[in-house]
Amino acid sequence: MRVVITGMGALAPNGNTVPEYWNSLVSGKSGIDHITYFDTTDFPVKIAGEISNFNPEDHFERKEVRKLDPFSIYALVACNEAVQMSGLDSFNFDQNRAGVMVGCGIGGINTLLDQHDVLKNSGARRISPFFVTKLIVNIAGGQIAIKWNLKGPNQTIVSACASATDAIGMALRVIQSGMADIMIAGGTEASVCDLPLAGFSKIRALCNDAEPPQSASCPFDKNRSGFVMGEGAGMLVLETEEHALARGATILGELAGYGVTNDAYHVTQPAEGGTGAVNAMQLAIKDAKAKPKDVNYINAHGTSTPFNDKNETAAIKTVFGEHAHRLKISSSKSMTGHLLGASGGIEAIAGLKVLDEQIIPPTINYNSPDPECDLDYVPNTAQKQKVDFLLSNTFGFGGHNAVIALRKWPG
């Protein structure tokens, strides 16, 4: 059974719709800047990839905004774009065979921090009646199901930075199992706030301030020093090929394969040589009934951390051998920062646009080659390239590795 993508929606630091986001990627435009959400005077890190020029009340009534944490708002906005693109908003489909699979790393952290302040300052009686239903990590998927009356399988995947890719991969499995014809899948995250920033800073995972801020995320560059936090959402509409063709939908690409593994090594560091990533890429390629030589491009996890980038490079060399040096590889995190649990959603969208436009977005801020990272990372400028089959890599704390394979349709 072939599973295809018929809709996509993005809300990213460098673009609030798929066209805005994609145009920013191919032009090398970064969405990373100084943090405006809170006072960073006492923080060692003062930069992030915030959503900009965005007002929730442009999308929801004010009374509805009060009931939603930003991570749910982002998911619903991205989902709305994906559903409209797919044409499902005007098509009478079987809601009992349509479901949702959302990836998220943290959930309603803004709500948690806000209500904790209320509890400390004003007491338990002042806690919002919407506290729990804004906070819990599964609620974005629940809100999506309610809005579009989707009564099929509905689950939330939490696997750190691999969450969205796992959600897309597990949605593929749900459809292949015969439990659904349609799945909305992707990831959302809204964790650019004081406590997560302080926590990631404490474990020295983040890049300290750079000037200009847009230069901070420099994957695979010798002078990389850590990732930059980002936020947003990326959502896809998946369907069986048969279902999509029967309703005359425009097919954007095929979700051809999924590979998932765990390093079982360390809570934050990848296994030496990227052994878990090796297995995940091999599984995704095998699942797609393809061979390593068929892969033209990899949207890398590419976090701009010293450990990830060298181990991901090593993993790619192990999987592809000599072909690794012919592959095009780039990291869109150089322009968005790291969206944590939402990363795989917007990066899958980047992959689909590569298949459509036959243009590979660059890895910006690549200025000093690293001997341990010696592959073709499409430095600084987008490149025209024939791409029929690609991988999108995401790896997360806890040793999670998730990879999806996307194929141009018809392939």
Question: Which of 207, 243, 338, 400 is an active site residue?
Answer: 338
- Alpha-carbon gap, residue 319 to 324, rounded angstroms: 8
- Alpha-carbon gap, residue 72 to 335, rounded angstroms: 23
The token pair at 206 is 């983040």
207 is catalytic: no
* DSSP output for 209-275: P-SSGGGS--TTBTT---B-BB-EEEEEEEEEHHHHHHTTPPP-EEEEEEEEEE--S-SSSPPGGGH
* DSSP output for 361-393: PPBTT--SBBTTB-S---BSS-EE---SEEEEE
Torsion of CA 243, 249, 254, 258, to 10 degrees: -60
The token pair at 191 is 């964790």
- Alpha-carbon gap, residue 335 to 4, rounded angstroms: 27
Question: Which of 104, 207, 218, 301 is an active site residue?
Answer: 301
Phi, psi of 371 (to 5 degrees): -55, -25
Count CA atoms within 13 Å of residue 8 on its CB side.
Answer: 29
338 is catalytic: yes
Helix then strand then coil, in percent of the chain rounded to 5, is 40, 20, 35
The token pair at 398 is 């806890």
- Alpha-carbon gap, residue 222 to 306, rounded angstroms: 8
The token pair at 213 is 């801020």
Question: Which of 79, 161, 193, 218 is an active site residue?
Answer: 161
218 is catalytic: no
- Alpha-carbon gap, residue 134 to 373, rounded angstroms: 42
Active-site residue set? 161, 301, 338
